Structure 1
Amino acid sequence: MDRINFTNIPNTNSENADIDTVKKKRKNSGDVQDLQLKNKKWKHWIPKNISFIENTALLKPPENFQKTIWELSDPNFYGKMRIQKSTFLFVENLIQKDPVFLNDSKNSQIDVRFQLFIALYRLGCSSKKTSISMIANEAGIANGTVSLYTERVLTALNNVAQSYICWPNTLEKKKISSIFEYNHKMKNCIGILTTTQTILSQRPAISTTKYKTSNGSYGVKSLVVCDNEKYIRFLSNLYPGSEMSETMWENSLILNNPDRYFTDDLHIVSTFQINPNKNAVYLQKIDPYSNESYKLTPREIEERDAQVDYISNIVSETLLLWKNRWSSLYKIKKQLKKPEDFQKIESWIMATAVLHNIACEHEGNWMGE
């Protein structure tokens, strides 16, 4: 079919333009066969602006996006991908042979690198700064493709989660406990137990009240155990936002399988109140007017307060480092419509925890905004 000549079409923005006039103009130019206004699909369609049609061809193809991102300066790449180029290459090499990137069809997938670019870009962006459509437009792909690539990368990262979110081994336990004891006389401590909450941007369509948090928003919660070097050593399954922290702990694998996590007199300390046992202790500051305060010396009270401040700082720094780097955790743009959606959110959070530990190992603190 010949290319449509738009030069004789009147330039108008009105959706009530005279179609008969357009037909006559096109008939005079010999292009009447190209005019499909009788087709129901195009019945009310008239080109509004030639420049709009021309601009659609200016979208950057994927290969240009990939080249542009990789050639960014180190600070700009770091700000966009949230990790350094060397760390990016490590992650790419880690996941590139995952089965999720293999097709049963003859058509091969686009480069794993490109898909990782898209996923990291999305994981690192807060809902205030960007959206799927903005990423899709910048990358020159469809909105659905952004979601597809992200889910593939999340799957691959979840498949290696057991290697990167793992309980400390014997040597690590010895090292961690010695640091806790050296810094604040916290003998035999190998980690800090806390909870973290992730807000959902949309009201869940299922079990709505269960996901309502104490501040009125909707979200999910999980248990986290971190160590003194800000590594996430344990991340539980998700719970609805209204779930009590104590209930989450009572159902946790750590409490119900202590032999798997603890040896000798080793234990963790908790930032929230739990029923004490030999493997988990709730640590809180001493109330100067409580009966306990009369049993301790001023020095012992001061040491306890310092211990509480120490573990609070570790937890705060760990969660801030995790969420500031992967800013999507501040408000995940997912709506719970069916059980599979809950699993996708769980996969999202777990993948960012894997990336957090990898970045801690290769880079240290997040140096972004």
Structure 2
Amino acid sequence: MGPVRGNKKKRKVENKAEEKSLVSGSSEEGSVDWWDVLSRKITGDPSSSHGLEFKYTFKMSRKTFDYICSLVKDHMTAKTHFAFISGNPMSLHDQVALALRRLGSGNSLISIGDSFGTHHSTVSQVTWRFVEAIEEKGLHHLQWPSQQEMTKIKSEFENIRGLPNCCGAIDTTHITMLLTSSDQEADTWLDRKNNHSMILQAIVDPALRFRDIVAGWPGKMNDASVLQSSNVFKQCQKGEKLNRNKISETGIREYIVGDSGFPLLPWLVTPYQGKELSENKAELNERIIATHSVADKALKRLKEGWKMIKGDMWRPDKHKLPRFILVCCILHNIVIDMEDHVFEELPEHDPGYREEICECVDRAGLMLRDKLAMLFSGR
């Protein structure tokens, strides 16, 4: 039996180290103890033997979290060093956890600051530093597909409901805001549901990755207007995108699918309108709707995973908000790229907003849609 005095002395040293860790909210960078300590702090019970589950808290694995830390490390450690109210410095992991909690929970700056043991201004500054870092280092996770990637995407879309040469699905969602009457620009942001909102337009692949996004336009704009104001519209109209290959047997070119709120264009296929449709037109509509559902699901998953942009945001900086939205979309893609399991309980992403009907029809778009309908004639 070893000396009792020595054990007691060792135990005192361990207890002091643990107390110090609980005060600061962190321990060894990247260690298991780091999260054990911080999670108990967030729950408000540092003495508890059980903290929050990591994946439940951040909706990503520890592997993905560590990867994100590696992306932002240089940017987040190069400038001002942040600290807890206790005066203890925040580690890189503490800062990333703080920013992800802010973006993922949608809780207020004060609430998150209280749970982490820091001032709400620190929450704001750390989160913005994180946004800048992801913009700088993570943008390669949100890019238009290469030719090789597009070949795979087309095959995966065709596997959904048989649409050949389909390259993406496009949809929009509203990021709602709470603006005060003192805001001189408040009326600019009023949408058709009488909410203040900002629109996010996204083109999505079959794996629910965002391949192109547009954020920043007022919610009063309709889907067609947002599309026509975007770079992707200009590029597609010029043939710089969605013009690589035609199917030789049918002449069907590359295109994306949208709902009835979008215009029918040479590279954008929307459903036929009307109740009494021919069998092949009705069949094509079903296939378009089923294929387009990936965009709807991606936006649901985005808002469920990054709740800062799900609820009514209190007086956000409207110049910074598009950058927050972009970063949430990049993080959404990173989780997919890292092959993380994602929670499947997905509520509506735009509750209360009824589908719009766009009357804009391009002749070449009509011809493309009719060619697609003929493919399914008699099936």
Report the TM-score, using the length of structure 2 for normalisation.
Answer: 0.70
Task: State whether residues 134 and 327 of structure 2, in contact with CA within 8 Å, keep that contact through their aligned partners in structure 1.
Answer: yes
- The answer as to 2:331 corresponding to 1:348 is no
Paired residue for 1:359? Answer: 335
Structure 1 stretches of 4+ with a deviation exceeding 4 A read 64-67, 70-75
Paired residue for 1:288? Answer: 275
Paired residue for 1:253? Answer: 231
Change in 2 beyond 3 A, CA 1:77/1:288: same
Paired residue for 2:26? Answer: 63
Letter in 2 for 1:239: W
- The answer as to 2:73 corresponding to 1:96 is yes
176-185 or 246-255: bigger deviation: 176-185
Paired residue for 1:38? Answer: none
Paired residue for 1:317? Answer: 297
Task: State whether residues 201 and 331 of structure 1, in contact with CA within 8 Å, keep that contact through their aligned partners in structure 2.
Answer: no
Structure 1 residue aligned with 2:265, among 250, 274, 277?
A: 277
Q: Deviations along 1:158-190, whole A, 9 cap, x unmatched?
A: 113430111111111111112222332312111
1:212 deviates by 0.9
Letter in 2 for 1:307: R
Distance (Å, rounded) in 2 between the aligned partners of 1:316 and 1:325:
14
Task: State whether residues 168 and 233 of structure 1, in contact with CA within 8 Å, keep that contact through their aligned partners in structure 2.
Answer: yes
Letter in 2 for 1:61: S
Letter in 2 for 1:318: A
Q: Report the structure number with the largest CA radius of gyration.
A: 1
Percent identity of the aligned residues?
A: 18
Structure 1 residue aligned with 2:210, among 225, 228, 232?
A: 232
Task: State whether residues 192 and 269 of structure 1, in contact with CA within 8 Å, keep that contact through their aligned partners in structure 2.
Answer: yes
Distance (Å, rounded) in 2 between the aligned partners of 1:152 and 1:104:
10
Change in 2 beyond 3 A, CA 1:138/1:273: closer
1:312 deviates by 4.1
Letter in 2 for 1:194: D
Letter in 2 for 1:226: V
Letter in 2 for 1:210: T
- The answer as to 2:176 corresponding to 1:180 is no
Paired residue for 1:46? Answer: none
- The answer as to 2:197 corresponding to 1:219 is yes
1:288 deviates by 3.3
Letter in 2 for 1:287: G
Task: State whether residues 157 and 166 of structure 2, in contact with CA within 8 Å, keep that contact through their aligned partners in structure 1.
Answer: yes
Letter in 2 for 1:140: G
Task: State whether residues 60 and 139 of structure 1, in contact with CA within 8 Å, keep that contact through their aligned partners in structure 2.
Answer: no
- The answer as to 2:53 corresponding to 1:86 is no
Paired residue for 1:194? Answer: 171
1:142 deviates by 0.8
Distance (Å, rounded) in 1 between the aligned partners of 2:90 and 2:105:
23
Distance (Å, rounded) in 2 between the aligned partners of 1:111 and 1:250:
45
Distance (Å, rounded) in 2 between the aligned partners of 1:94 and 1:73:
30
Task: State whether residues 259 and 289 of structure 2, in contact with CA within 8 Å, keep that contact through their aligned partners in structure 1.
Answer: no
Aligned residues: 296
Structure 1 residue aligned with 2:91, among 97, 104, 111?
A: 111
Structure 2: stretches of 5+ with no match in the other structure: 1-21, 28-33, 41-48, 246-252, 347-379
Distance (Å, rounded) in 2 between the aligned partners of 1:161 and 1:261:
23
Q: Secondary structure at the match of 2:53?
A: helix
1:154 deviates by 0.9
Structure 1 residue aligned with 2:126, among 146, 149, 152?
A: 149
Distance (Å, rounded) in 2 between the aligned partners of 1:352 and 1:153:
11
Task: State whether residues 161 and 291 of structure 2, in contact with CA within 8 Å, keep that contact through their aligned partners in structure 1.
Answer: no
Task: State whether residues 210 and 243 of structure 1, in contact with CA within 8 Å, keep that contact through their aligned partners in structure 2.
Answer: no
Task: State whether residues 211 and 242 of structure 1, in contact with CA within 8 Å, keep that contact through their aligned partners in structure 2.
Answer: yes
Change in 2 beyond 3 A, CA 1:364/1:304: farther
Paired residue for 1:21? Answer: none
Q: Deviations along 1:312-333, whole A, 9 cap, x unmatched?
A: 4212211111111111211253
Paired residue for 1:13? Answer: none
Distance (Å, rounded) in 2 between the aligned partners of 1:191 and 1:270:
9
Q: Secondary structure at the match of 2:178?
A: coil
Paired residue for 2:363? Answer: none
Paired residue for 1:121? Answer: 101
Letter in 1 for 2:104: G
Letter in 2 for 1:279: W
Distance (Å, rounded) in 1 between the aligned partners of 2:345 and 2:56:
6
Change in 2 beyond 3 A, CA 1:187/1:131: same
Distance (Å, rounded) in 1 between the aligned partners of 2:89 and 2:184:
35
Q: Deviations along 1:239-298, whole A, 9 cap, x unmatched?
A: 0111121111111111111243222321111224444332222x2255333xxx2xx4x2
Letter in 1 for 2:309: L
Change in 2 beyond 3 A, CA 1:358/1:209: same
Q: Secondary structure at the match of 2:331?
A: helix
Paired residue for 1:19? Answer: none
